[in-house]
Structure 1
Amino acid sequence: MNTESKGTLELTAAMALSGTLGIFVVESGASAFNVVFFRVLFGALALGGYVLARGYFRGHGFTPKKLSLAALGGLFIVFNWVFLFESYENTSISVATVVYHTQPFYVVLLGALFFRERLTAAKAGWIGLAFAGLILVSGVTPADFAGGGGSYLLGVGQALAAALLYGLSTIVTKRITGVRPHLIALVQVLVGIPLLLPFADFGAMSGTGADWGWLIGLGLIHTGLMYVLMYSAYQKLPTTKIAVLAFTYPAVAMVADWAVYGHHIGLVQALGVPLIVLASLKVSLAKSPRTVAGSTPAPAPVASSRR
């Protein structure tokens, strides 16, 4: 098996794992804050063990500035997870995941806003098309804005907020050079432990029982194993293939949501999916006028981010 084929298998596996993340979150029965707290806790143990075993702490490349940027990215990434997981409860895994996959457009817009990266007319057009698709996928109608949408409208907003936070984390983390992405991810999950500790409700976990397995799985599988596979694949694949394979994540998430919970998006909503996919690919594969070396965060697919 050649290097690119191996990378393809690794990234496909990572994105497929990411697509099952929502099942683990819902089945754990825990609140979003508790889920994220234990995800970063168990994820830090998994990533820390891997980094230690590979000897990555030696010559880590961190400076005070780079460490601060990694910590700031961690702040954005952990609260991005909180919003995304809350969105699962108020909408569905399928809708939340597709709405959340507008992350690349936020990265482009934030880059133009904060770093004066050129926003071409073509990119602006694709972003406009993507948000037209977003409106279709969300299923939100004018009546929802008049007060009839309730928690569903809130859930769509939470998924959008999660995507925005992911975009902020990506922008910040792209400014870190000369540091292995595994180490950046480790810092981000370590930062999440004290950040989320005040919000964690340990009393609510007393009757969790066998559901601890879902939380441990989020840390070991969806943070430790998934990140290792993803970062290994990135070193072997061209950008074009990474961008295409990233859509394994929402595809698996939608199938899993239908298979386990019977949720599926309607016909009109389905029309918006190819618009988002096409626009995301066009934006992701467009040549950037300014190339910045570094790594993107991975909460969710890298997006994920990540994811």
Structure 2
Amino acid sequence: MRNETRGTLELILAMVLSGTLGVFVVESGASPFTVVFFRCLFGAVALGAYGLARGFFAGHGFTAGKLGLAVLGGVFIVGNWVLLFEAYEVTSISFATVVYHTQPFFLVLLGAAVLRERIGRATVGWLVVAFAGLVLVSGVRPGDTASVVGLGLALAAAVLYAVATVVTKRISGVRPHLIALVQVTVGIPLLLPFVDFGEAAGLGAGWGWLAGLGLLHTGVMYVLMYAAYAKLPTARIAVLAFTYPAVAMLADWLVYGHHIGLVQALGVPLIVLAGLRVTRARGAAPAPRTGAHAGAGASRVATRSA
């Protein structure tokens, strides 16, 4: 019981960190490509140092095939971050985060299409509920270009995240920290041509926010997540994972005064409840964005945080 209590506290802290991610992105003042590049750079340093200190590189378990899958998953993860961070700018952290949490449903659909997994009637019902929630949350009105674009970006990010999860689930026998390290490292050469170093040079205090994204939201957060996953049952992980969108919406309101409207608010519990039911029904614990949010013990779980 003491072990589960510690795991619960670790996961709550990880989800609280994840919920503040949007504020760090916006406050950095950098463009999405630049933000993701430095998140990958600082994150690789943090995860690499942790892996070295823990001796994870000895007997790492990678083969050429597993490494290739980790790299491929990294491409989708990095693209997912770019789209999500762009959605923050176009709309708001609250809106983008809620829409982004349609991830479990895309994962179910991909599982059926790619892995030939059967979708039960109950799951189909929850997918319908989630879609109704999404329609309410979107609150898109004729001529509201920002909402339409933001909705599209957040949904596209969720799709890439789901694809990354399907790819990463095929990796076994490798610590999730090392899979995460490979995936963030992939982002460095991948995004290098798109980084505006002139913009980066003038960020000033923005560098602190960028460093936080890599060291806290990629290094510390993933270490806490993977430690918690080893101590907690799937059902509790699935419930606690929804601390992330709750904190994100609270942070968006406290820092920027953004909040969703009444009609949009009616859609939030529909998406959250449907996501929780689908996640628990699949017996999958949410894992982080870089190891796809997945890896060794986490390579068999669906990812959850941004």
TM value normalised by structure 1: 0.94
1:206-225 equivalent positions in 2, closer than 5 A: 206-225=201-220
1:18 corresponds to which residue?
Answer: 18
TM-superposed deviation, 1:152: 2.2
Superposition pairs of residues 80-229 of structure 1, within 5 angstroms: 80-141=80-141, 143=142, 148-229=143-224
Name the counterpart of 1:75: 75
Q: CA deviation at 1:304?
A: 3.1
What residue ranges of structure 1 are gaps of 5+ in the alignment?
none
One-letter identity of the residue aligned with 1:162: A
Q: CA RMSD in A?
A: 1.6
Q: 1:151 to 1:113 in 2, by over 3 A?
A: same
In structure 1, distance between residues paired with 2:246 and 2:286? 24
Contact kept, 8 Å, 1:246 with 1:301, in 2: the verdict is no
Q: Say whether the 8 Å CA contact 2:75–2:186 is kept in structure 1.
A: yes
Q: Distance in 1 between matches of 2:237 and 2:140?
A: 31
SS of residue paired to 1:60: coil
| One-letter code aligned to 2:108 | V
- How much has 1:131 moved relative to structure 2? 1.2
| Displacement after TM superposition at 1:260 (Å) | 0.3
Q: Distance in 2 between matches of 1:19 and 1:295?
A: 15
Same amino acid, percent of matched pairs:
70
**Alpha-carbon contact 2:100-2:155 (below 8 Å) kept:** yes
Deviations for 1:256-302, whole angstroms, at most 9, x for unmatched residues? Answer: 000000000111000001101110111001146xx9xx995524858
1:280 pairs with one of 259, 264, 275: 275
Indicate whether 1:257 and 2:248 are aligned: no
C-alpha distance in 2, partners of 1:173/1:297? 11
Partner of 1:306: 305
Matched to 1:111, the amino acid is G
- Say whether the 8 Å CA contact 1:170–1:297 is kept in structure 2: no
Q: What are the superposed Cα offsets for residues 35-66 of structure 1, whole Å, 9 maximum, x if unpaired?
A: 00000000000000000000000111111111
CA deviations over 1:63-117 (Å, ceiling 9, x no partner):
1111011001100000100000000011100000000011011111101001101
Correspondence for 2:240: 245
Amino acid at match of 2:214: G
Q: Which whole-Å CA distance do the structure 2 matches of 1:170 and 1:287 have between them?
A: 14
SS at match of 1:249: helix
Secondary structure, counterpart of 2:56 in structure 1: coil
Partners of 1:150 and 1:306 in 2: CA distance: 27
CA distance in 2, matches of 1:295, 1:66: 21
- The 3 A distance-change label for structure 1 pair 136 and 178 is same
- Asked if 2 retains the 8 angstrom alpha-carbon contact of 1:100 and 1:163, the reply is yes
TM normalised by structure 2 equals 0.94
CA distance in 1, matches of 2:287, 2:305: 9
Q: What is the number of equivalent residue pairs in this alignment?
A: 298
What aligned pairs does 1:36-75 form with structure 2 within 5 A after superposition? 36-75=36-75
SS at match of 1:39: helix
Shift of 1:306: 2.2
1:62 aligns to what SS in structure 2? coil
Contact 1:99–1:134 under 8 Å retained in 2: yes
Give 3-state SS (helix, strand or coil) of 2:173's partner. Answer: coil
Secondary structure at the aligned position of 2:205 is classed as helix
Q: Distance in 1 between matches of 2:282 and 2:208?
A: 43
> Unpaired segments of 5 or more residues in structure 2?
295-301
- Cα-to-partner distance string for 1:169-213 (whole Å, 9 max, x where unaligned): 111101101110000000000111111111111111121111100
What's the secondary structure of 1:209's corresponding residue?
coil
Indicate whether 1:232 and 2:214 are aligned. Answer: no
CA 207–99 in structure 1, closer or farther in 2 if over 3 Å, else same: same
Counterparts in 2 of 1:185 and 1:295: CA distance versus 1, 3 Å: farther
C-alpha separation in 2, matches of 1:198 and 1:214:
22
